[in-house]
Structure 1
Amino acid sequence: MYLLKRIQNSLFVVLIWYAACHILLPANATAEDKRPNILFIIADDQSPFDLQVYNPSSTLETPVISQLASDGMTLDSAYHMGAWTGGVCTPSR
């Protein structure tokens, strides 16, 4: 009787484990489906107002960045790096 109960409990655990794996892990999902498509553009000593995305009257022509911004999402609320005030008269390096 003990052996039968042990086999029954083991089969129950295996069945629950099998069902949980199939519910939580879809069979046809690949790693590319789950990865977000994020692009960070980092520039040194550049004002956001140099780009036509943030300043349409800018004289700099940035058609690729403008196209990326219009197709995706732009972040327009940035804060100064490192301190309460931004480094206006200090070297960037």
Structure 2
Amino acid sequence: MIRLNVFIQVGAEKRQEVVALSKELVAASLKDNGCVAYDLFESATRPDVLMICETWRDAESLSAHEQATHFTTLVPKIQELAAMKLEKFNF
């Protein structure tokens, strides 16, 4: 399995838009083949930090997700509005 923690840092003025785009990404990604879990979290201590936590069955599932229309459309929009940092774990 593969776990991705995607940290998103966004200013207050663009936060609502990033949250809306992220929720759209989560809803679509949960339907992807091989998606075990996909959720959006908000920091309790830093209002400028969000995190998407993803778990994938295997590398093939993750690769297909990264080529899906919802990913290739929504992720660039989020990247235009916020800084993103990725942590990847295999287990």
Higher strand share: 2
Of structures 1 and 2, the one with the larger relative CO (CA 8 A, separation 6+) is 2
TM norm. shorter chain > 0.5: no
Provide TM-score, normalisation by structure 1: 0.30
Provide TM-score, normalisation by structure 2: 0.30
